[in-house]
């Protein structure tokens, strides 16, 4: 247990075995009959468990008086209430709560000096909150949100754990923290100037030139921050963090917008920070690409709970044990099951299954060439069938999106040379320009297709889970919510071919795996074709039936090869990167071999870069 210290700090609500959550955005007491309060059996006895009147902003629920009957949950017309029973032993370990009937975080990740500690969990489970507390920018209140808690009591709360020493050192020795934020696109609102100016200003370690070259920022040096692409902003923000001479390095989702090669480069640079400039440092990373998290971490802390309601942090596990426990949905060390189904992804080349189906149609496209300014793309001829997913693999700037647009018939010059097919396209970046709710958007773009198409209805409700967003304004959605709505719109349109550009963007690791399964099931059952651009290797290998490998010099001269089988294509792509993958025996997920390890050398010698056994 992490917190054997002062338990009296917590107010009376912290000792209960359940929590009540009221979503202030959904709760509208002025627009309902206050069924939660009127139907509450405790209220009917004369006590006040639920407060809800037309004059309050939102309902309030007493967790001490609540009996967990869930009547208020069922009666609320806006689905604004959650009553959650906590796992045994958890109630006394609350580290922070934002307010009454709001999110609670139990325990904290335990940083280990000289090691990379990775955090894995769904969105809304408390990862960013935990990092904010560990930077000491957010002072934990130990559940007592009404009064400020002293650091003396906080340190006493963590007595006997690594966190006691961590907080003591961070406060007494004035530890400095470098934090790479989650949403890099927000940097343009708070930072101004050119890339060169800011890197020069932040270069405390005098390694700016090295990182600029290493991360491919040479051509971006004289650009203003406000005009940088998502990938440039991501690499820029990581460089700024790495160049600071501090004691604690934190990286919140460092691989968004980056291709596989860039992700590996970033991972190596982050790992180097555990011992930088002659001193041992703390390094913490939040990452949803599980293959990359596996590659860069020494320890894993799993976060589980109920999104937007509560989150629980486990003690550090070994990397393989931690990630496998997350995928299994079961923590043996705590005898805790937090997900009903195990996530297993057995990789196989299922071309033989597809070829056996005589009802499938084959489409062909010829050799093509496209020039955009100084960029030249050569496309080798190829073919694809229905019920098939073709994965486009390559570095950023090699022409994957250009190829997708050509197939979609969006290129006027080459429109007559590609098969004339109905195409639905989900772009890489989704801009919320629609005025109205999510439900308005769906009716506007795809009508009521979910009422007539059972497979699509399952995709909406079981995979993308957007029904809870129907009443939300589109312009207020988060990146992950926009991504899920974008997928629903793309697959809701009647088409022969679905062109999906980076479906994993902004999704957490669990959503990515569920989305991959949903896309696979949808394409197979509807006998359609999908072309997918994806940089998350686990998601890419699960989805792919065929692979188109891109090679050449990014932004200059590149080639899209003919589609090949999964294993052959992955071997070619990984040989270009100089990286080998093995497969975990328990859940078949791809794992990156450490460079020059025995396994890495053996696979390279045999030419088997992508091990399927």
Query: Which H helix or E strand runs over 592?
Result: strand 590-592
Burial class from Cβ neighbours inside 10 Å (0-12, 13-18, 19+) for residue 316 reads: buried
397-436 confidence digits (pLDDT tens): 899 888 888 888 888 889 889 888 888 988 877 778 888 8
User: Does residue 6 register a pLDDT over 50?
Assistant: no
Alpha carbon distance 587, 326 (integer Å):
11
More confident residue, 470 or 531: 531
- β-strand 60-61 against 557-560: which pairing, if any? unpaired
Helical pair 479-492 and 438-446, crossing angle rounded to 10 deg: 20
- β-strand 279-280 against 282-286: which pairing, if any? unpaired
Alpha carbon distance 105, 102 (integer Å):
10
Residue 466 three-state SS: coil
User: How confident is the model at residue 345, as a pLDDT?
Assistant: 64
Mean pLDDT of 595-599: 90
User: How confident is the model at residue 12, as a pLDDT?
Assistant: 40
pLDDT band at 447 (very low <50, low <70, confident <90, very high): confident
DSSP assignment string, 77-113: TT--EEEEEPPTT-GGGEEEE-STTS-EEES-----T
Query: CB-based contacts of 312: which residues, under 8 Å, 6+ apart?
Result: 87, 90, 93, 106, 107, 303, 304, 305
End-to-end C-alpha distance for the chain, whole angstroms: 39
Alpha carbon distance 338, 128 (integer Å):
20
Q: Are 283 and 249 in contact (CB under 8 A)?
A: yes
User: Does residue 344 register a pLDDT over 80?
Assistant: no
39-88 confidence digits (pLDDT tens): 999 999 999 999 999 999 999 999 899 999 999 999 999 889 999 888 77
User: How confident is the model at residue 96, as a pLDDT?
Assistant: 95
Alpha carbon distance 5, 25 (integer Å):
36
91: number of Cβ within 10 Å: 20
User: Does residue 105 register a pLDDT over 50?
Assistant: yes
Of the listed ranges 105-119, 203-217, 233-247, 499-513, the least confidently predicted one is 499-513
Distances (CA, A) of 123 to 127, 138, 329, 501: 8, 19, 16, 21
More confident residue, 191 or 457: 191
Distances (CA, A) of 470 to 32, 82, 316, 317, 481: 18, 18, 38, 39, 11
Alpha carbon distance 107, 64 (integer Å):
22
Of the listed ranges 17-26, 103-112, 126-135, 556-565, the least confidently predicted one is 17-26
User: Does residue 305 register a pLDDT over 80?
Assistant: yes
pLDDT band at 449 (very low <50, low <70, confident <90, very high): low
555-567 confidence digits (pLDDT tens): 889 999 999 999 9
Q: Are 97 and 137 in contact (CB under 8 A)?
A: no
CA 538, distance to chain mean position in Å, is: 13
Q: Are 32 and 50 in contact (CB under 8 A)?
A: no
User: Does residue 460 register a pLDDT over 50?
Assistant: yes
Cα Rg of the chain, angstroms: 26
Q: Quick one: tokens of 137?
A: 């920018």
Query: CB-based contacts of 199: which residues, under 8 Å, 6+ apart?
Result: 208, 211, 212, 221, 236, 239, 240, 243
User: How confident is the model at residue 542, as a pLDDT?
Assistant: 87
* Strands (DSSP E) found in 427-477: none
DSSP 582: E
């Amino acid at each position: 247990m992490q917190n054997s210290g002062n338990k009296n700090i917590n107010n009376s609500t912290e000792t209960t075995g359940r929590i009540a959550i009221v979503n202030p955005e959904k709760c509208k007491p002025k627009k309902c009959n206050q069924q939660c309060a009127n139907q509450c059996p405790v209220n009917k006895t004369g006590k006040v468990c639920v407060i809800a009147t037309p004059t309050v902003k939102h309902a309030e629920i007493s967790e001490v008086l609540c009996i967990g009957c869930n009547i208020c949950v069922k009666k609320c017309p806006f689905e604004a209430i959650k009553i959650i029973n906590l796992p045994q032993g958890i109630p006394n370990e609350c580290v922070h709560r934002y307010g009454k009937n709001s999110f609670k975080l139990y325990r904290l990740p335990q940083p280990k000096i000289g090691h990379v500690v990775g955090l894995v969990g769904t969105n809304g489970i408390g990862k960013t909150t935990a990092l904010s507390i560990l930077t000491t920018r957010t002072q934990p209140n130990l559940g007592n949100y009404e009064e400020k808690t002293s650091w003396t009591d906080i340190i006493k709360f963590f007595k006997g754990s690594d966190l006691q020493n961590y907080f003591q050192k961070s406060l007494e020795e004035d530890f400095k923290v470098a934090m790479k934020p989650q949403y890099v696109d927000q940097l343009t609102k708070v930072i101004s100037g050119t890339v060169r100016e800011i890197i020069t200003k932040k270069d405390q370690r005098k390694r700016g030139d090295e990182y600029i070259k290493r991360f491919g920022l040479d051509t971006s040096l004289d650009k203003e921050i406000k005009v940088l692409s998502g990938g440039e902003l991501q690499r820029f923000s990581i460089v700024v963090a790495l160049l600071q001479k501090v004691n604690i390095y934190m990286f919140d989702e460092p691989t968004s917008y980056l291709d596989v090669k860039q992700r590996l480069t970033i991972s190596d640079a982050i790992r180097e920070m555990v011992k930088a400039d002659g001193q041992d440092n703390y390094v913490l990373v939040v990452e949803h690409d599980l293959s990359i998290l596996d590659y860069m971490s020494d320890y894993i802390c799993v976060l589980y709970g109920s999104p937007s309601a509560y989150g629980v942090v486990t003690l550090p596990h070994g990397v393989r044990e931690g990630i496998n426990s997350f995928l299994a949905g079961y923590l043996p060390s705590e005898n805790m099951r937090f997900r009903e189904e195990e996530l297993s992804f057995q990789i196989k080349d299922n071309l033989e299954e597809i070829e056996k189906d005589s009802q499938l149609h084959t489409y062909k496209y010829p050799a093509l060439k496209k020039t955009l300014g100084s960029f030249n793309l050569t496309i080798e001829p190829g073919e694809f069938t229905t019920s098939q997913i073709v994965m486009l693999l390559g570095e950023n700037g090699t022409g994957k999106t250009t190829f997708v647009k050509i197939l979609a018939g969006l290129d006027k010059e080459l429109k007559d040379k590609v098969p004339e097919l109905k195409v639905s396209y989900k772009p890489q970046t989704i801009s919320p320009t629609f005025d109205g709710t999510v439900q308005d958007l769906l009716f506007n773009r795809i009508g009521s297709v979910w009422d007539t198409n059972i497979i699509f209805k399952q995709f909406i409700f079981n995979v993308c889970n957007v029904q809870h967003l129907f009443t939300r304004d589109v312009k207020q959605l988060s990146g992950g919510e926009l991504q899920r709505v974008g997928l629903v719109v793309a697959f809701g349109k009647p088409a022969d071919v679905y062109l999906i550009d980076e479906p994993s963007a902004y999704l957490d690791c669990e959503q990515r795996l569920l989305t991959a399964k949903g896309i696979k099931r949808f394409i197979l059952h509807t006998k359609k074709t999908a072309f997918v651009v994806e940089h998350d290797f686990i998601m890419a290998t699960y989805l792919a039936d065929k692979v188109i490998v891109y090679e050449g010099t990014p932004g200059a001269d590149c080639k899209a090869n003919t589609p090949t089988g999964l294993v052959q294509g992955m071997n070619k792509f990984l040989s270009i990167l100089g990286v080998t993958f093995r497969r975990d025996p328990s859940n078949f997920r791809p794992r990156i071999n450490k460079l020059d390890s025995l396994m890495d050398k053996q696979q390279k010698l045999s030419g088997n870069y992508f091990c399927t056994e």
